[in-house]
Structure 1
Amino acid sequence: MGLLEEIHEPKDLQTLDSTKLKTLAQEIRREMIDVISKNGGHLASNLGVVELTLALHRKFDSPDDKIVWDVGHQTYVHKLLTGRLERFNTIRQYNGLSGFPKRVESAHDCFETGHSSTSISAAVGFAKARDVLGERHHVVAVIGDGAMTGGMAFEALNHAGHSETNMIVVLNDNEMSISPNVGAMSSYLNRLRTDPLYDKRKEEIEDLLKRIPGIGSKVAKVVSKAKDSLKYLLVPGLIFEELGFTYLGPIDGHDQSLIEQVLEQAKQKKGPVLVHVVTRKGKGYKPAEENPGVFHGVGPFDPDTGKIAEKSAPPTYTAIFGETLCTLAKADPRIVAISAAMPSGTGLNPFVHQFPERFYDVGIAEQHAVTFAAGLAFGGLKPVVAIYSTFYQRAYDQVLHDVCLQQANVVLAIDRAGVVGDDGPTHHGVFDISIFRVIPNLIFMAPKDENELRHMLYTAIQHSGPVAVRYPRSVGQGVKLDETFKEIPIGKAEVLRDGRDVTLLAIGPMVHTCLQAAQELYHRGVDAAVINMRYINPLDRELLSHYARLTKHFITIEDHVLKGGLGSAVLELLEEEGIEGVAFERLGYAGFIDQGSIPQLHIAHGLSVAGIMQAAERLQLIRRVAQS
C-alpha cells in the first residue's frame, strides 16, 4: 500500500516529512500517467502542479479556506488529495468524475471552471463575502500565465488591488497555455523568470540607499514610491505592485519546502498578494516534458513510451477546415487567420507554417480576436476567426456589435460545435445556434460532411458580410472531396430524400443519422423525406413551406439545445408563414450535458436512429401507417 492510498483528505498531508512528500509526489504522477494513458485527459498541466498542489493543501485548510482553480484542467492532483482516489479511474468518463472542478463532487471544489481567466474574479467575490460575514478564512486563486492574457483577469486584478481585501493569487507560470503564450504579458513574465538577479535588485537598492548617512532612510522611502524609469526597469513584479498587490517571486514551483515558506509569508501579509511560481509543464514524465502541447489534452497512449494510440479514421472536420483555408489563402492574399491561443486545436498549424505573416494569435482573448477581425476586415482583408463554440460565447457582444451590426466581412469558424465528449458541460458547444441565429446580417451554416464544409468555407469567403460556419469535433464521414470549390446558394436547403409521410430536418452530421432513420422508417411503412438544412440563417422558407403542407409531420434533430435552436427556428417560420396543422417533434438537448463519449451522449439524448423512431411513434406515424 502506497502513501497515496492513505490520503483521504488534505489534513492527512500534515504529518508527512519532506522524504514522504517526495515519495507521494512520485506516486501521484504515476497514478495520473496510468489513468490518463487509458482515459485520455489533461496530463502535462497536471504533472506540472504536483508540488504546488501539495503545498496549497498543506498550508491552507480546504474546504474552509477557498482554493479557486483557473480553467480547472490542472485539478487532477487536487481531486486525488480530496477523497476521490477510488473513483479517479473514471475521470472524464460517462457517469464518472469530471475532468474539471465540480461542486456536486466535493466540498473542496468551491467554484466550477472550464474557461480561463475567471479565478481571480471569483476569488474576489469569495473574499468580499467573507469580509461582509465577518469570517476569517483564506481565499486563494490559482491562475496560469496563459490565462493571465485574458482581459477578465486584469479587470479582477484591478478590482482586487483597489479593494485592498486579503486574498492570494498564485500565478502558475509554466511558460505556455495550450500553445506557446504570446503578447506583452508573456514577455514580461519571461524577463522575470529568466533573470537570476531580477528578484534581488529591489532589496539591494533599498539597502544601499539606507546606508547613506543622515538622509538614507528618507531617500529610500522617496525612491520606493517613485515611478521613474529606474524602478520600472529594476523592480520585479512591478505591474502587479502598481495594481495594488504585494509581489512574491518568482520561485521554483517544484521546490516543495520553498513554496510552503512563501505561501506562509503570503498568509501573513495584509491586502492582496501575488505569488509567482515557475513550474514545468509535464514535469516528471519525459514525453510530456518534451511535448507539453501534445500532452496538454491527450487521448490514450502507451505510458511506457508516450506513443499516442493511432486509429485509422477519416480526417477530422478541424483538419479539413485547416487544409481548405490554406488552399483558399493561396488563391486570395486577403485571407488572414486569427486564433485565440489555439492554433493547433483549431487546425491552423498548416496555415501558420505556410502563411506566418498572415496569421495572428492574440492569446486567450476571444473578445479582442473578434473585434480585431472586424478592424482587419474594414482595412481590406478577409479575416477568418477560428474559435471553439464554447469559447465564442465569450465574444457575443463583439460578434453582435462589432461584426454584424457593421456588416464586416468576417468569417466566424465555430469549431467543436455540438457535444465534444469527455470534457463535459463547460466545453460542449451546444448553445451557438441559440445565441447567434437571432443576430441580423449573420449568415449561419452547418455542413453535413467534410466535403460540404469545404464548399461552405469557400462560400463564406466569397460572401460580402459576416458568415458563421459551425462544425463538430469528430472525424468526417469519409466522403470523397471535390477537386473544385462551388458556392452554396445562400439560404437554400438540400433535399436528400423525398417522402410524403414525414419530413426529417437536420443540420450537420445529424443529417446522416436522419438518412439511416429514413431507411428504417421505410421498412416500417413510413415514407420519410430527409432535408439537409445547410443554413440556420436564413432558412429555406419555400422548401420548408412545401414539405409542411405535403407531409404535415416534421421531426427536427440537432446536436444543440432545444431552446432557440433549429427546431425553434422552424416553428417560428411556420407561424410566420401561417401554416397550421403540422405535427412536430424536436430532438436535441434539454440543458447542460455531462461528459461522455460523443456516441454515448447522442444515444442518451435521443439523437440517434432509435430516437427518431421513437419520435415517429409519438407522432403516431408508425401505428397509423401500420393500421392503414
Structure 2
Amino acid sequence: WSLIIADAVSRLAAKDPRITVLTPAMANGSKLLQFAAKYPDRFFDCGIAEEHTVTAAGGMAAGGLRPFVSIYSSFLQRAYDQVLHDVARQHLPVVFGVDRAGLVGEDGDTHQGIYDIAFLRTIPDVVICQPKDAQEAQDLVYSAFLHSDPCFIRYPRGTTAAKRKDVLEEIRTGTWTWFDEGTPEQIVITYGPEVDRVREKAKVNGTGLRVVNARFFKPVDEAMIRELFAMGLPVTVFETDVSQGGLSSAIRDCLAKNGDPVPAFHVIGLPDAFIPHGSVRALRKEEGISLEDLFDWIERKSGSDNRQAEGPRPVDAGVHPSSGEPGPSSGNGSLS
C-alpha cells in the first residue's frame, strides 16, 4: 500500500513542480526513498518530529507549494494540534498519507492505527478517506491534490494487488459506491480492503448483500445513507477501527442531522479500548471484527427474519421503504 501511494505522488510530482514530500523519519517504511533520490530538493525527512513536519508542510502550502506528508496513523496523534491550528484552520491544501492505518499486528500495541478517523473527524473542513483497492488509491491521491483543504488518505500496513493506472481520474469528494451480490437481503457498509473481502465471501456463501464502499468518512455520502436506510433492509456497519467516533458515528450523525429518529443498525467494530500486541488475524478474531464474525451475524439476522410471520418486513421508525429505483447518488460498482 505504501508503495502504491508513493508511486502515485511521484507520478504527479513529475508534472507538478510544486509537489513536495515530508516525513518524520519514515522514508523507508513509507517507500519514499525513490522519490527522495529522484527529487532530492523536494524531499524533507524531518526526523522524529511529527509536530514540526506538519507545521513545515503548512508553511510550504502557505507559500504556494503542494506538500504531501507521509506519516503513520499512530504518530499523527502527536501532531493533532498542528493539523488543527497550522493547517486546517488556515485552509491549507496539505495532503496527508496516513500510513499503517488500522490494526498493525506485529508492529506493536503502541502502533495500532485505529484512532485517526475519530480524532480527525473533530476537525472542520477536512477530507478523510480510504481506498478499497490500488486503483481507487491512485485516484484518491490524484483527487486530493485537486482539493483546496487538507485531505487525509489512510491505508493499512501490508500488501494488495497493484496495477498502475494509465489515466488517473477524479473521485468526487464525499461519494460512496455500492455493489450488489445476488439479490440484496441485507446491507453491509464498510471501507478499505474489507469491501472486496465481504463481496467475495458473500459470493462464496451465496449471501444476498448490498456491500457499500464508504470510502469517505468526512464528508459522508448523506444522500446514499438516507437511500440505503429507506430500503428497509437490515444494515450492518463493519468497521475495523474504533467504532466510537468512527464510521458508524458519522452515519448516526448524518441520520440525526435534521432531528429525525435514527433507525436501528448493527455495528461491528473495535471497542473503546487500547488494543494489545498480536497478529492482525488473532486480534480480529479476539476483538470480534473478523469476516467470520460479520457473516455469523448476517446469518443469525437472516434466520431471525425467516422465522417471522409472512408479511412485509418491519421498518424502523423514520425509515420508509424505497421504490426500488436507484437515486441520484446510487453506486453501480464504478469507482467514480
The corresponding residue for 2:170 is 487
Q: Which amino acid aligns with 2:242?
A: V
How much has 1:381 moved relative to structure 2? 0.2
Q: Return the offset for 1:602.
A: 2.2
Aligned: 1:566 with 2:250: no
CA distance in 2, matches of 1:581, 1:358: 48
**What is the correspondence of 1:67-216 to structure 2 with a 5 Å cutoff?**
none
TM-fit CA distance, 1:608? 2.6
For residue 371 of structure 1, the aligned residue among 34, 55, 60 is 55
Q: Distance in 1 between matches of 2:234 and 2:260?
A: 12
* C-alpha distance in 1 between matches for 2:235 and 2:52: 41
Equivalent runs, 1:213-362 vs 2, <5 Å: 317-362=1-46
Deviations 1:421-468 (A, max 9, x none): 112220010000000012111011100012211111111111111100
Residues 418 and 472, structure 1, Cα contact 8 Å, conserved in 2: yes
Please identify which structure carries the higher helix content: 1
Shift of 1:580: 4.0
The yes-or-no answer on 1:540 pairing with 2:191 is no
The answer to whether the 8 Å contact 2:128/2:216 transfers is yes
1:495 alignment partner AA: W
Q: Which amino acid aligns with 1:583?
A: A
**How far off its partner does 1:577 sit?**
4.5
Secondary structure of the residue that 1:542 maps to in structure 2? helix
Match of 1:583 among 245, 250, 264: 264
2:280 to 598, 614, 623: 598
> 1:343·1:349 contact (CA, 8 Å) conserved in 2?
yes
* Cα distance in structure 2, aligned partners of 1:502 and 1:433: 25
The 2-side partners of 1:497 and 1:578 are apart by: 30
2-side partners of 1:461 and 1:423: how far apart?
30
Aligned-residue offset at 1:340: 0.4
* Residue-by-residue CA offset, 1:48-78 (whole Å, 9 max, x unaligned): xxxxxxxxxxxxxxxxxxxxxxxxxxxxxxx
Q: Which residue of 2 aligns with 1:622?
A: 303
Deviation of 1:600 (Å): 2.3
TM-score, with structure 2 as normaliser: 0.86
Q: Contact 2:4/2:162 (CA < 8 Å) preserved in 1? A: no
TM-score by length of 1: 0.47
The amino acid that maps onto 1:406 is: Q
Is 1:406 the equivalent of 2:87?
A: no
More RCO (CA 8 Å, sep 6+)? 2
CA 1:602 to 1:592, structure 2 compared with 1: closer, same or farther past 3 Å?
Answer: same
In structure 2, what residue type is equivalent to 1:360? F
Q: Deviations over 1:391-410 (max 9, x none)?
A: 00000011111111111010
SS at 2:20's partner residue?
strand
CA deviation after TM superposition for structure 1 residue 574, in Å: 1.4
Q: Is the alpha carbon distance of 1:535 and 1:614 closer, same or farther for their aligned partners in structure 2, counting shifts above 3 Å?
A: same
Which of residues 176, 199, 212 is equivalent to 1:531? 212
Amino acid at match of 1:545: R
Q: Identify if the C-alpha distance between structure 1 residues 545 and 577 changes in structure 2 by more than 3 Å, giving closer, same or farther.
A: farther
8 Å CA contact retained: 2:142, 2:170 = yes
Structure 1 position 386, deviation (Å): 0.4
Rounded Cα–Cα distance in structure 2 between residues aligned with 1:602 and 1:593: 10
SS in 2 for 1:615: helix
Decide whether the 8 Å contact of 2:256 with 2:262 is kept in 1: no
CA distance in 1, matches of 2:4, 2:72: 15
Distance 1:372 1:611 in 2: 43
Moved more, 582-591 or 484-493: 582-591
Contact 2:252/2:262 (CA < 8 Å) preserved in 1?
A: no
Q: Once the 2 structures are TM-superposed, how far is the Cα of residue 625 of structure 1 from its aligned partner? A: 3.0
Contact 1:503/1:551, CA 8 A, preserved across alignment: no
CA RMSD of aligned residues (A): 1.8
Q: Which structure has the larger Rg over C-alpha atoms? A: 1
AA in 1 matched with 2:117:
I
- Following the alignment from structure 1 to structure 2, what is the Cα–Cα distance between the partners of residues 340 and 610? 37
